[in-house]
Every structure is written in structure tokens, then in C-alpha cells.
Structure 1
């Protein structure tokens, strides 16, 4: 009985130490990212992902960083490397956490980066995929503010492209902003981005 209790205590201690290392590593990676050290932050998230193969969030953040820094990148080789890496890590995250709306909108963001780089080449094939991804995400999480905001921005971009009014989507941005005030997740390091972006979009909405 004593051996069993000792084993349970040791296991609990080991798990607690592992969780502490995970939390410390994630906090350090976010600090690097906040200080504009995107390469270092990406590498830190990669190391955490390797050490924590059952957690989707480190993979998600590697994907997100490499996608965000690709917007505005005009070097095709560099952009390709970044977005391929983003997709590689996203695919692992999706395998760990299927039907995850945060991962669906991240996939759409990767597609958008390709379209932003060369709309003539990628727009026709990736635009329908994005429309489908946003429909899937909204069906899974109709009250997730990031999903609502991301879909609204995509719909606005499509409306502008075809010369249509973007005003009908302003109500979705308003809804997203309201939900940002109350949306919470019990999962540590769950995505929180979007509220500031919603305010920016709403300020110019319909103009």
C-alpha cells in the first residue's frame, strides 16, 4: 500500500513539474513574440510542441506566427517556406484536435496569405475553400468571436472584390465585439486575439 501511495505521489509530482515546464515555456514564447522576436518565439513554440506532442496549442502558435509574418512578404521563396511550415504544424494540430474552429480559421488565414501574395494564381482555388472553412467553423462555434470576426472580414473582402456593399456584415463585427467581452476558455493559453481588430474593422465599417 505504501508503495502504491508513493507511486501516485511521484507520478503527481512528475506531472506537475511537466506542466510547470510547459507553462513557463509558453509564457516565454509569448514574451518573445510580444517583443517582436518572431523567429525566436516560433522556435520556442516548436521546442514545446516536440516536448508536448499531445497539445495542439504550441503547434497552432507556430502556424500562426509563420502565417502572420507572411503578409506583406514579397520574396516568394521565403513566403513559401513560412506558409508550408505553417501548414505542416497546423496539420499536426488538427490531428491532435479535430473539428477545432480555431484551427479552421487558422487554415483559412494561411490561404488568405497566399491569396494576398498572388490573387490571380491562388484566388480561384483557395477562395471557395475559405468560404467552406468559415462555414464549418461557424457551424461548430457560432458564439466564438474570432470565428464570427474572421468570417465577417472574409465576407467583406469578397463583397469589395465584387463591388458590393460591406454594410450587411457590420452587424457580425458588432456581435463579435460583444462576445469578446464575455468569451472565456478554461484551457490555458487558448487564443485570445481579435478584440482590437474587431474595433478597427467596426470603426471603418460600411465606409
Structure 2
């Protein structure tokens, strides 16, 4: 029975991919790949906004594909992290990101990836006003990432975002860098074994995680030199 269920799931995924390819215009995959590369190569808010607009156009060109909406949400999230605009504007970007994420879910996107990105959006909400929002959004991050882990525990981005959440939680509440370190290490292990389901599938986070772990090494080196 388990084998039959897995076979049916594979067939359904294959049919879905075929349908997306059938409705996408010529050059769509190449355009998406190039735009994803752009997204992962800049931290400039103005450029990020232009890239988000490209994903909006891609969503119009391939209305059955969930990935343009997903990357639109991710681009808006990155814009929120990078912009120096006020809190209300940042919240507006995150409202737009959640709307795009809802559309990606309607198109039956990868549920684990969508939940991770939802958790990351909650984390961004928290970062806008930590003192006022920590009680609500820290809990929501943990809840939604727990759901993502239930769907697919091999997704390495779960451990990056969850580690970030613990990292910035005060030590008195069970957080802090040392409490977060095992999660980042777990993420490193998961990234080493991770294979994206397609060339356009979400594949971000490894550089950020490596940067986190490098900071631990540098801190240990400083302590050893004292």
C-alpha cells in the first residue's frame, strides 16, 4: 500500500510539472533561472523590487506554476530585510509577501517550502519591532517550522530559520547563540545531503548558514587567543 501511495504521488507530481511546462511560454525556464540568480546575487532594495516585478510577470505568463509567486514572496521578504524604510512600509512588503505565498499554496506548491517561508516572514515581522512582537511572532515561527518539519524533516532551510529564531531569543528564555548552534549544525548536515527537486526549486540559505557557523569559529578563535 505504501509503495502504491508513493507511486501515485510521483505520478501526480509528474503530471503537475508537465501541466506547468505545457502552459509556460518558450524560454520560461531560462528566464526564471536567470531571475532567481539575480535574486540571490543582490542586497540592493531597488534591484530587489525590480526582480519581484519580474516574478509577477512570470506568474502571469505561467499561471499554473507556484514558483513565481513563491519567489515573489521571497523577494519581498529580502526587500524588507535590506530596506531602510519605516516599519509601516516594511509591514506592507510582508503583507504582499503573504498574499503571494497564499497564491503559491493555492497552486499546490511544496508545502514544506511554503511553511518555511511563512516562518521566515513571521521572523521578519518580529524583527521590525522585537520588544512589542516577540511574544506573538517567536511562537508563530516555532509553530509553523514545526509543521514544516513534520512535512519534510530533510528540508535544510527549516534549521536555518529555526536557528535564527533561537539565536535572537534572550538567553533567559532558552535562546542565544549557544542554544542555536546545534540547529545550524543540523542545517549544515541537511544541506550536504540536499538535492533540489528541480533546477528552479528553492535552494537558498546555505551561504547564510555557513556565515553563522563561521562566526562561531571566529568567536572561538578570539576566546582562545585571550
Q: Which of the five TM-score ranges fits, normalised by the shorter chain?
A: 0.7 to 0.9
In structure 2, what is the Cα distance between the partners aligned to 1:161 and 1:179? Answer: 29
User: Which residue among 33, 53, 57 is the counterpart of 2:63?
Assistant: 53
Structure 1 partner of 2:7 = none
Distance 1:29 1:175, change over 3 A: same
Q: TM-score, length-normalised on structure 1?
A: 0.81
Distance 1:64 1:16, change over 3 A: same
Distance 1:77 1:155, change over 3 A: closer
Structure 2 partner of 1:125 = 136
Do the aligned residues in 2 keep the contact of 1:71 with 1:117 (CA within 8 Å)? no
Q: Structure 1: any 5+ residue segments left out of the alignment? A: 1-11
Q: Structure 2: any 5+ residue segments left out of the alignment? A: 1-17, 220-226
Q: List per-residue Cα deviations over 1:103-140 (Å, max 9, x = no partner).
A: 11111111111111112332222221111011111111
Do the aligned residues in 2 keep the contact of 1:67 with 1:86 (CA within 8 Å)? yes
Q: List per-residue Cα deviations over 1:65-104 (Å, max 9, x = no partner).
A: 1111112534134213211111110111122226711111
Do the aligned residues in 1 keep the contact of 2:188 with 2:210 (CA within 8 Å)? yes
Aligned-pair CA distance for 1:157: 2.2
In structure 1, what is the Cα distance between the partners aligned to 2:50 and 2:63? Answer: 20
In structure 2, what is the Cα distance between the partners aligned to 1:131 and 1:17? Answer: 37
Structure 1 partner of 2:117 = 106
Q: Does 1:177 pair with 2:188? A: yes
SS in 2 for 1:158: coil
1:145-156 to 2 correspondence within 5 Å?
Answer: 145-156=156-167
In structure 1, what is the Cα distance between the partners aligned to 2:209 and 2:173? Answer: 23
1:62-73 to 2 correspondence within 5 Å?
Answer: 62-71=72-81, 73=84
Q: How many residues align?
A: 194
Distance 1:114 1:188, change over 3 A: same
Do the aligned residues in 2 keep the contact of 1:25 with 1:44 (CA within 8 Å)? no
User: Which residue among 16, 28, 53 is the counterpart of 1:22?
Assistant: 28
Do the aligned residues in 1 keep the contact of 2:168 with 2:176 (CA within 8 Å)? no
Q: More displaced, 102-111 or 119-128?
A: 119-128
* Higher Rg: 1
Q: Does 1:97 pair with 2:108? A: yes
